[in-house]
Structure 1
Amino acid sequence: MKGKKIPQIDQIDIQMIDEPQSAWLSFSRGELDILGLSGQLAPVVLDHEKLREKWIHQGIRLNRLSEPMISYFYFNYLDPDFGGDSKSHIALRRAIFMSIDDDEMIRVLFNGQAIREQYPVPPGVAGYDPQYESVLGFNPELANLLLDQEGYQRGKDGWRQGPNGQVITVRFTSGVTSQDREIEAFIRKSLSRIGLAFSSEKLRFPDILRLERQCRLQFRLSGWIADYPDGDNFMQLWYGPHTHENNGACYQNAQWDALYDQSILWPQSSERDELYHQMARMLELDGITKISSTAVRNVLTQSWVLGYSPHPILASVWQYLDITPHGVNP
């Protein structure tokens, strides 16, 4: 691209393909120039962290980096069955988080294309703390003990019951892809460890966002990628006044909000880091959020694509690209 004026490309055709296998088939046939590789396809294309020789010989290139993002589970604080600040509901939410084996999820569902994280601010973003340890790690034994202590007893069928004698059923919202079905099965298995029943709410992504902003979801695995590389971009996800906007958990805690208001007065500093630590711990103790992982971004480009270089924040790189005719070496 040296010496060329930008942009070189006249038209960009972005295709939204829900199923990873369909996207891969289109790319392998040369119908797509660039493909974001999902974890589902990693065993087909990658040998550990490198491109398989078969694809290297075809001129395909792998661009790999750690995303400045977090995947996190959350409960809706305003949900009538699981929300609020009662001792029993907090214990219930925390037990559910402790039933989830995030390492297994990364290994089995994402084929290792994610990194376990425990802090609301991800690597590469100002405010990240690699030493932070969550109190909501995988611990089904402690989770069961917590539920026993709060009086969530098991019925004859093995399922735990609420105060009304009804089986406690957790409604998990997810998308409609094959990956979402695998995540649902994983959550069902996790909940069964602690005697809780599972129900599925399958929605397309725009509908998930609509109901999330209306505070009508119950339990979800969500994600956030940095708009800018500062911890504030992540901590604002639980700020009370951002309910019906970015605060998908609809979290309401005046003490937490006061800490956030203090944090925005500080630049990156040890003082702000201390506030972030307090805020992160409060999210866990309130049983609102469990940070799960950060994704590894794998992008494949065909041999005829010129100038592609991944950027952790800048998503729009099209103006820096060019292509040669298929079959012509750059």
Structure 2
Amino acid sequence: MAATGTMRRSFGSLAFSISKRAFSTSPSPVDANGLKSMNLFSAINHALQIALESDPRAYVFGEDVSFGGVFRCTTGLADRFGKGRVFNTPLCEQGIVGFGIGLAAMGNRAIAEIQFADYIYPAFDQIVNEAAKFRYRSGNQFNCGGLTIRAPYGAVGHGGHYHSQSPESFFCHVPGIKVVIPRSPKQAKGLLLSCIRDPNPIVFFEPKWLYRLAVEEVPEHDYMLPLSEAEVIRQGTDITLVGWGAQLAVMEQACIDAEKEGISCELIDLRTLLPWDKETVEASVRKTGRLLVSHEAPVTGGFGAEISASMVERCFLRLEAPVARVCGLDTPFPLVFEPFYMPTKNKILDAIKSTVNY
């Protein structure tokens, strides 16, 4: 455990030093419409501020959160709300989630941070055997619905096999929890507030690649976005593309290039993976007759397989080509070979053309 902790802290320092050199985190002015330019980590920070302000039962805790965390998502919260509500924990993910379950079971809003999603595995038992089953095993007499587990996930450009994994599909197999992944700052703020206030335990994966790269006009006020409701972010007629998180930006670029070649792509952000919005995806696939799913996680057993199987069951007679999947490879996440591993724009574009011309 000590070796693991050292690895995490050294990588965290690297990530922070890069962010300090390359990006400004100074506040942006609010425009006349109440919008403020924010990157994704600032939007997360603002959502946490609102959650703590609006509910005295809300607590934020995890490794290093009191000084702002590796990615600075909790910067200033301990100073503003006190270290009784925003506090560090030992380097023990099982303990972090176990504590969160107990805190939520007592009627509080427990917002637990796992420093990297790669290290959520020690807490796997607490999430799938305790949090997910708490309400069911008590016959709805007790629950830990106030638990939200935040975790940075996915590629970061230099993370390698211990800081780049996308473990969402593991949790999509577990009834009793929800799994949510935002694609942008505006989405992150609204979805996180919905998760914190939802009456079910939720795992909220944050695409670390976008923490500072994604910038958007975000409402300053308190708002929530619906869970389990996919969003069609690009209308099209020839093929449906489905994704989530940072992969949406890659897929959108592929859609733009495909349009130059006369292919009309409909792009859907799933947003919530469990329970997911089958109806929106089905309606799109029935219209286009073709489906492509893309995610960073390895292809075998990835959530794209569930989407593919469900759409074959629901739309078999409407499909004009096999469902395409453009995903990570069935290997540990590599370091120097990350560009070969990632589902890139060109890989997606090739799959679009192959599917449309099938």
Q: What TM-score do the two structures reach when normalised by structure 1?
A: 0.26
The answer to which structure, 1 or 2, has the higher relative contact order (CA under 8 A, 6+ apart) is 1
Which of these two proteins has the greater Rg computed from alpha carbons? 1
Query: TM-score, normalized by length of structure 2?
Result: 0.25
